Structure 1
Amino acid sequence: MPLAFHHLAIQCADLDRCEHFYREVLGLAVLKRWPREGGGDRSVWLAMGDGEHAGFLALERAEEQPEPHAWRDGRPGLHLVALRIGPAERRGWEDRLEAAGVQVVHRTRWTIYFHDPEGNRIGLTHHPHDL
């Protein structure tokens, strides 16, 4: 079996706020909730893609606040989560992000870049297809 995307996990100091962002702003649907001892969620899994082999995004509760960092900080590690959009959807996504108060921090010919509530870099891309 060839390697393929299974899931990505992001640790969130404010799990509720991150879930709201990924569900309400980006439109990802909840697949499963994992409870934590004492109440609330330990983790929320959100659908990424369609079909039997689609992956998911796991939002995991963290105990510490995230460290702020610049768009390109030169540090090693995860730099970006890029999600695929169609070229014709770009304007609609730009409008949706603006309406949600999400600041676009960079644009290229194919990609819109912004941060989630905890500072993780997110991109919406239609590479290699032009508008």
Structure 2
Amino acid sequence: MIIRHVTIDCADPHQLASFWHTVTGWPLSDEDPDDDYALLIAPPPVPGLLFIKVPEGKAVKNRIHFDWMPTDRTRDQEVEHLIALGATLYEDHRTAEGRGWVTLRDPEGNEFCVERSESERGHDTP
């Protein structure tokens, strides 16, 4: 068994998918365009992100979220980049010695984390 998609409930699937498209660079599917959902196609074997329209708004903290690791920027550069794209700072867990992560929220309030890049980790354990 494999995970095909990670599904995210939201108010505006196309707006939220466009944000994540800009963040990841993953293409939006043009198959069966519909106002009620939008799909980002991730590079295999990563599951796609499926955004589904739901009537209720987000009420509490996510029970599951993404931990992203930048590949071409530092953690701090990635955080600034994501904020410029429309994310907002939620919790800052960076430490004085440079470790830690930052929790952001996407435009609909879904939490996600940005960790240090592989090059910043050096010989650290995850």
Identity fraction in percent? 20
1:19-78, CA deviations, whole angstroms, 9 ceiling, x for partnerless residues?
A: 232122443321344444xxxx22211133x33x231110111122222x35xxxxxx72
1:60-99, CA deviations, whole angstroms, 9 ceiling, x for partnerless residues?
A: 11122222x35xxxxxx72322233238432331221232
Q: Residues 12-51 of structure 1: matches in 2 within 5 Å?
A: 12-36=10-34, 41-48=35-42, 50-51=43-44
Secondary structure, counterpart of 2:16 in structure 1: helix
Asked if structure 1 preserves the Cα contact closer than 8 Å seen for 2:11 and 2:53, the reply is: yes
Task: Give the total of aligned pairs.
Answer: 116
Distance of 2:16 and 2:86 partners within structure 1: 14
Please tell me the residue identity of whatever aligns with 2:57.
Q
Cross-structure match for 1:90: 75
Cα distance change, pair 98–10 in 1 and its aligned pair in 2 (3 A): closer
Please tell me the residue identity of whatever aligns with 1:44.
A
Cross-structure match for 1:61: 53
Cα offset, 1:4, TM superposition = 4.7
Cα distance change, pair 98–66 in 1 and its aligned pair in 2 (3 A): closer
Cα offset, 1:13, TM superposition = 1.2
Cross-structure match for 1:116: 106
Higher strand share: 1
TM-score by length of 2: 0.68
Distance of 1:121 and 1:17 partners within structure 2: 17
Asked if structure 1 preserves the Cα contact closer than 8 Å seen for 2:86 and 2:106, the reply is: no
TM-score by length of 1: 0.66
Asked if structure 2 preserves the Cα contact closer than 8 Å seen for 1:111 and 1:127, the reply is: no
Which blocks of at least 5 consecutive residues in structure 2 are unaligned?
A: 94-98
Secondary structure, counterpart of 1:30 in structure 2: coil
Which blocks of at least 5 consecutive residues in structure 1 are unaligned?
A: 71-76
Cα distance change, pair 90–12 in 1 and its aligned pair in 2 (3 A): same
